[in-house]
Amino acid sequence: MADLPFKKMTHTFLTGKVKAFLPLYQQFLKEEAYPIESAVIAKPFRQSLQLLKGIRSKAKEKKLWAPHLSENEGGAGLSLTEFAQVSELLGTSPIGHYLFNCQAPDIGNMELLRAHAPEELKKKFLAPLMDGDIRSCFAMTEPEMAGSNPLQLATTAIREGNDFVINGHKWFTTAADGSSFTIVMAVTDPQNSNPYLRASMILVPIPRRGYELMRNVPIMGDAGEDHQSHGEIRFTNCRVPISNLIGEEGNGFALAQARLGPGRVHHCMRWIGICERAFDLMCQRAATRKLGDHRYLGHQQIIQVWIAECRAEINAARLLVLQTAYEMEHSGAKAVKDEIAAIKFFVANVLSTVLDKAIQVHGALGITDDTILSFWYRHERGARIYDGPDEVHKISLAKSILKKYGLTFH
């Protein structure tokens, strides 16, 4: 890459730790990730597990493992804003986050279990998850219900003796294939007059009787496998002990909200990393693709306009997300509810635009699998849908603004 992201990081957020760590992560990616990433995404993910395991061990040896975890937990001890900047850099490779064990959905599950799981679950599931010995998934969305209104959950977990008995159908459970547990969101108190107190989060070990991974859902022709997949799963009288409850019974929505705040910062910064890589490829192509004698693509004004617009949008996106992360860290997620909504749809759209323009500049090459652009185009179209579709975030932000002007909503 001609101009790596950390050179563009705003000084406002560059702490001593970030300055020290970014070049180390960058060097590691240069040596271990960029040379192999195309081969890894070109074949079924399991075929690369052994190779990736070796590289993950090196990340541990170099003390770059799990940058979001504290040093006591074997991590690099970065704050949310510091990690966000590392996350951008890791986002420049499709295997960046995985190599350092800070990939979704495991990172969200680590944060959830760390803050809300009973000690026994922490020992049995959180510790190996933080060590990278196992993986996990998060099962909330259901094919029969509109995921943008999660209050409509149909999956139930009914108490019977010392167990919960879970029944339900989920999909888009990212990385279910090969996971050692899932955290399922299920209705435990359907009669509660407050719909926000009806659901709970429960840890289900895998394999488990009554739990079935039905298939990996194909995404634009690619079903993927292992960490790079989205599972459709069914719970049929699946029993787990009541002690597998995470947090308090009925607190599922509150936990989901808490999980999503930092989660959106993580996603957005990863997307900005993808933008930087796509931008770099676009500029390289514009500067070297000859249209005629002494005439290159980059001499065309339309291409220059795209490059200028993409540059400005990526820079704006970064500032917005880092400011949100910083405020969240200092004032809590509630205080930046509107900003969290704003970054989600703003950055997802910057990502869509930059990837699309980068592909367009590559011409036919852009839609082949000979560059990594097509992989991201296929798998990141979902960015405008997951973690709440754009429209839902826009409506939420607009309502919050209009309420301040005295408008009421029923």
Ligand X SMILES: Cc1cc2nc3c(=O)[nH]c(=O)nc-3n(C[C@H](O)[C@H](O)[C@H](O)COP(=O)(O)OP(=O)(O)OC[C@H]3O[C@@H](n4cnc5c(N)ncnc54)[C@H](O)[C@@H]3O)c2cc1C
Residues that bind ligand X (CB under 6 A): 105, 138-141, 146-148, 172-174, 230, 382, 385-386, 388-389, 391-392, 395
Q: Which residue is nearest to ligand X, using beta carbons?
A: 147
Other beta carbons within 10 angstroms of residue 97's beta carbon come to 22
Nearer to ligand X, 168 or 388 (CB): 388
CB of 233 to ligand X, least distance (A): 10
CB of 183 to ligand X, least distance (A): 9
Identify the burial level of 215 via C-beta atoms within 10 angstroms of its C-beta, where 0-12 means exposed, 13-18 middle and 19 or more buried: middle
Nearer to ligand X, 22 or 340 (CB): 340
Nearer to ligand X, 285 or 379 (CB): 379
Nearer to ligand X, 1 or 223 (CB): 223
CB of 170 to ligand X, least distance (A): 7
CB of 179 to ligand X, least distance (A): 10
Q: How would DSSP label each residue in 32-78?
A: IIHHHHHHHHHS-GGGGHHHHHHHHHHHHHTT-S-TTS-GGGTS---
CB of 15 to ligand X, least distance (A): 31
Nearer to ligand X, 255 or 283 (CB): 255
Instruction: Give dist(CA 320, CA 348) in Å, integer.
Output: 13
CB of 119 to ligand X, least distance (A): 26
Nearer to ligand X, 48 or 136 (CB): 136
Nearer to ligand X, 177 or 313 (CB): 177
> Sign of dihedral through CA atoms 99, 330, 140, 396?
negative
Return the structure tokens found at 137: 């998934």
Beta bridge partners of 160: 163
Q: Which 8-state DSSP code applies to residue 29?
A: I
Instruction: Give dist(CA 133, CA 180) in Å, integer.
Output: 10
Other beta carbons within 10 angstroms of residue 294's beta carbon come to 7
Other beta carbons within 10 angstroms of residue 194's beta carbon come to 9
CB of 95 to ligand X, least distance (A): 17
Other beta carbons within 10 angstroms of residue 400's beta carbon come to 12
Q: Which of 269, 281, 342 minimizes the C-alpha distance to 310? A: 281
